Amino acid sequence: MSKHTYKGWDISYNPPPIPVRSCDWIAMHPDYEAWTDEGRWVSNGMCLHAPNKQELLEAIDEWELENA
């Protein structure tokens, strides 16, 4: 697994051992939180997934614009 940052988000490439490639790249904001609510996971939305690095960086840019 490789890891670096972009605009303060931790970026990692960690492809799961399944044939689905849509979540190989992960970005996690420093303020990311997740918790359980009635037996299911809920997050504050500060974790993004993408099939490749370029799409992940674009998703971060879009998230930053929408939540600035």
Q: Report residue 3's pLDDT band, with 50, 70 and 90 as the boundaries.
A: low
pTM of the predicted structure, to 2 decimals? 0.79
Q: Report residue 68's pLDDT band, with 50, 70 and 90 as the boundaries.
A: confident
- 3 vs 60, residue with greater confidence: 60
* Alpha carbon 30 to its chain's center: 11
pLDDT of residue 41: 85
8 A C-beta contact, residue 12 and residue 25: yes
Residue 2 has pLDDT above 60, yes or no: no
